[in-house]
Amino acid sequence: MAKYESKIKQVPYSQGAVYAKLSDLTNLSVIKDRIDDPNVQAQLPADKIDEVRKAVSQMEFTADTVSAPAGPIGTIAVKIVDREPEKCVKFTSTNSPVSFKLWIQVLPTSPTASKLKVTIDADLNFFMKQVVGSHLEKGVDKFADMLAMIPYE
């Protein structure tokens, strides 16, 4: 197993608000609406905006699962396997060429703000770790950035 952790991200919403949104994955469908936001697009390479827009539009959300297209390997899905109220949501892959676990930790910094961290633990052999390790390291941080931008109102 190979573990990758994001940097800690500050979120201008309470721990309870962040947890409530992240513990019900249907709430994350707001990313479909936000992909056309100029602030979000400014964080993407210009030549990738249409590709990201297409991928995001194909994402599917239920209360416990989210699935997304992953190019030639098909669709990757994750499922919530544990909820620790207001502190942590744990996921596992359900349809992925690489088995992994992911968790999102949320801690309060004040009554109206919190911080979050994303961790992924992937079942990678030595060769795969060399090939995709740096991409997972960057990806987990970008995922945390995306979560920090969601409106948790």
24-83 pLDDT tens trace: 999 888 777 777 777 777 777 777 777 777 777 788 899 999 998 777 777 889 999 999
- Does residue 128 have a pLDDT over 90? no
What Cα–Cα distance (Å) separates residue 123 from each residue in 72, 99, 105? 20, 5, 21
Can you tell me the distance from the alpha carbon of 18 to that of 115, in angstroms, rounded to the nearest whole number? 9
Using 50, 70 and 90 to split pLDDT, how confident is the model at 146?
Answer: confident
- Total of domains in the chain: 1
Using 50, 70 and 90 to split pLDDT, how confident is the model at 151?
Answer: confident
- Cα pseudo-dihedral 8, 12, 14, 18, rounded to 10: -60
Question: What is the torsional sign of CA 38, 149, 5, 67?
Answer: negative
pTM: 0.81
Both tokens assigned to 139:
């990806």
More confident residue, 101 or 37: 101
Can you tell me the distance from the alpha carbon of 80 to that of 108, in angstroms, rounded to the nearest whole number? 22
Residue 88 belongs to domain spanning: 2-149
CATH code, 123: 3.30.530.20
- Does residue 127 have a pLDDT over 90? no
